[in-house]
């Protein structure tokens, strides 16, 4: 039986010996999904890339499809130097490390990747994790312990929330991007308590950026340490591509920067960089660093090669801004409702009134040859249904034109513009 065919009735089959079926709590979700599939739409969460031909195109259901949902902002996945570095590492070091970083899992390539990060960020320390998700889990749960406070934006990424839940600190949320609310909530906390304020450069659902200059000033006023997640800012923002915090001019006041290799860097992995003199102790005490296998040698080799190239990617950054502004303006002119007033990042969220319209539009675009990501609650703020478009520095002017034409055709067919 395929999972698409699971019904609430099937889910009850596991109910043996009177004990409750632990999966029955998902019955409503299973029923909602089935009702959607019964209308004849494709499952937005079950798409297969049959072949990926470039950073911007793939074959889906046998059809050439423009990719407008990846986080391949800088288009590094097919960079010849990056690919060559990965192939060489496979030949030289094999397919995996089969060990934790603190045991047999630190290879020369992990060190070189951390050196590349230190050079990229200009910091004294860099620690590589197996994903960005684990970097947040590890760093947040290790830094803020019992009796400490974590103050985070209400729209924070799931990995930030999960990092809070893995630790023992008190959690305080402030209203999304509200400097006043951050100030108010910090002001209510005990003066002598340890405090970690967590911010993101770019918020990935709507593509809006944080007012980091003001927020960092407020956090410092209250004596808090600051962690900034630059998952979606790295590569694109700031003179050296370090992220929104660099562009905001607050590099000296941000204590920890978390990031990922799964977006601009174009591979997989996560990291945290810092100038704190005691930062390296995390290698001994951070459970999501210690109790998991390290990244394969080919992955850290591709990451290091990519990071070093991103240091000199000014032209790519300029083209990505051009693409982002053109798509934002074009979609606005067509009459779509967008998540931000102007293009604040390479993410452009197109908002729909309900799930049915969003899925209908998503499918119509796919049939025309355009892949975008469908996002829905609980991932989205305020229960929105949206199509999240993310541009790539390698999208050509012609492709952006095609994308706009497909949005126009699909929007008219669905009747939402
Ligand atoms: C803000 C933010 N932080 C962390 C992550 C986790 O990154 P990774 O894909 O490396 O686990 C993501 C991924 O989407 C993200 O958007």
Instruction: Please identify, among 284, 310, 336, the residue that sits at the C-terminal boundary of a domain.
Output: 310
| DSSP E strands, 235-382 | 256-260, 270-274, 337-338, 347-352, 370-371, 373-375
Residue with the smallest CA separation from ligand 1 atom 10 is 132
In a domain, 14, yes or no: no
Catalytic residue numbers read 204, 232, 263
Ligand 1: nearest atom to the Cα of 134: 11
- For residue 383, name the pLDDT band (cuts at 50, 70, 90): confident
Q: In what order do the strands lie in the sheet with 195-200?
A: 125-129, 270-274, 256-260, 225-229, 195-200, 149-153, 170-174
157 Cβ closer than 6 Å to some ligand 1 atom:
yes
- CATH code for position 229: 3.40.640.10
- If asked whether residues 119 and 265 sit together in one domain, one would say yes
Q: What is the pLDDT of residues 148-157, one digit of tens each?
A: 999 999 999 9
Q: In total, how many domains does the chain have?
A: 2
- If asked whether residues 91 and 58 sit together in one domain, one would say no
**How far is residue 322's CA from residue 336's CA, in Å, rounded to a whole number?**
19
Q: What is the pLDDT of residues 258-282, one digit of tens each?
A: 999 999 999 999 999 999 999 999 9
Distance (angstroms) between ligand 1 centre and the Cα of 132 equals: 5
- CATH code for position 60: 3.90.1150.10
263 Cβ closer than 6 Å to some ligand 1 atom:
no
In a domain, 26, yes or no: no
Q: What H or E segment, with its residue span, contains residue 214?
A: helix 212-221
**Domain range for residue 112?**
78-310
Any idea which residue has 């100030």 for tokens? 183
Instruction: Please identify, among 310, 339, 360, the residue that sits at the C-terminal boundary of a domain.
Output: 310
Distance (angstroms) between ligand 1 centre and the Cα of 229 equals: 9
227 Cβ closer than 6 Å to some ligand 1 atom:
no
- If asked whether residues 66 and 95 sit together in one domain, one would say no
Distance (angstroms) between ligand 1 centre and the Cα of 231 equals: 6
153 Cβ closer than 6 Å to some ligand 1 atom:
no
- If asked whether residues 279 and 147 sit together in one domain, one would say yes
In a domain, 157, yes or no: yes
In a domain, 324, yes or no: yes
Instruction: Please identify, among 293, 310, 327, the residue that sits at the C-terminal boundary of a domain.
Output: 310
**How far is residue 166's CA from residue 397's CA, in Å, rounded to a whole number?**
45
Q: What is the pLDDT of residues 161-209, one digit of tens each?
A: 999 999 999 999 999 999 999 999 999 999 999 999 999 999 999 999 9
What is the pLDDT, as a whole number, of residue 16? 55
In a domain, 210, yes or no: yes
Distance (angstroms) between ligand 1 centre and the Cα of 163 equals: 12
In a domain, 198, yes or no: yes
Q: Are 263 and 271 in contact (CB under 8 A)?
A: no
- If asked whether residues 336 and 304 sit together in one domain, one would say no
- Could you tell which of 157, 209, 268 is best to mutate to test the pocket of ligand 1, judged by most ligand atoms within 8 Å of the CB? 157
260 Cβ closer than 6 Å to some ligand 1 atom:
yes
- If asked whether residues 203 and 229 sit together in one domain, one would say yes
229 Cβ closer than 6 Å to some ligand 1 atom:
yes
How much is the pTM? Answer: 0.94
Which among 43, 64, 39 has a CA at the least distance from the CA of 54?
Answer: 64
- If asked whether residues 397 and 339 sit together in one domain, one would say yes
What one-character DSSP code corresponds to residue 255?
-
């Amino acid at each position: 039986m395929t999972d698409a065919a699971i019904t609430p009735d099937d889910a009850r089959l596991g109910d043996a010996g009177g004990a409750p079926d632990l999966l029955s709590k998902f019955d409503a979700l299973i029923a909602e999904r089935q009702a959607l599939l019964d209308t004849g739409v494709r499952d937005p969460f079950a798409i297969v890339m049959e072949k990926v031909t470039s950073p911007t195109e793939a074959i889906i259901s046998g059809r050439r499809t423009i990719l407008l949902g990846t986080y391949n902002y800088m288009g590094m996945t097919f960079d010849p130097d990056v690919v060559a570095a990965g192939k060489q590492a496979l030949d030289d070091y094999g397919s995996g490390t089969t060990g934790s970083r603190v045991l047999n899992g630190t290879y020369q390539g992990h060190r070189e990747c951390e050196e590349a990060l230190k050079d990229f960020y200009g910091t004294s320390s860099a620690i590589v994790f197996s994903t960005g998700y684990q970097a947040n889990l590890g760093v947040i749960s290790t830094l803020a312990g019992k009796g400490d406070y974590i103050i985070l934006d209400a729209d924070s990424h799931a990995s930030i929330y999960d990092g809070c839940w893995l630790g023992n600190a008190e959690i305080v949320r402030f209203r999304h991007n509200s400097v006043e609310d951050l100030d108010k909530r910090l002001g209510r906390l005990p003066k002598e308590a340890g405090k970690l304020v967590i911010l993101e450069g770019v918020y990935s659902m709507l593509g809006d950026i944080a007012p980091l200059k003001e927020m960092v000033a407020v956090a410092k006023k209250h004596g808090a340490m600051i962690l900034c997640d630059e998952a979606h800012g790295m590569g694109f923002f700031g003179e050296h591509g370090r992220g929104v915090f660099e562009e905001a001019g607050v590099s000296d006041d941000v204590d920890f920067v978390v990031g990922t290799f799964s977006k601009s860097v174009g591979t997989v992995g996560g990291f945290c960089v810092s100038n704190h003199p005691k930062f390296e102790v995390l290698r001994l005490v951070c459970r999501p660093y210690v109790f998991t296998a390290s990244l394969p040698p080919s992955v850290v080799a591709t990451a290091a090669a990519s990071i070093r190239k991103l240091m000199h990617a000014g032209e790519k950054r300029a083209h990505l801004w051009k693409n982002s502004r053109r798509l934002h303006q074009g979609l606005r002119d067509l009459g779509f409702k967008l998540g931000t007033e102007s293009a604040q990042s390479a993410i452009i969220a197109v908002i729909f009134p309900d799930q049915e319209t969003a899925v209908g539009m998503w499918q119509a675009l796919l049939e025309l040859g355009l892949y975008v990501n469908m996002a829905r609650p609980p991932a989205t703020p305020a229960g929105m249904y949206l199509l999240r478009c993310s541009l790539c520095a390698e999208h050509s002017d012609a492709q952006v034109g095609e994308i706009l034409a497909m949005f126009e055709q699909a929007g008219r067919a669905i009747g939402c513009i």
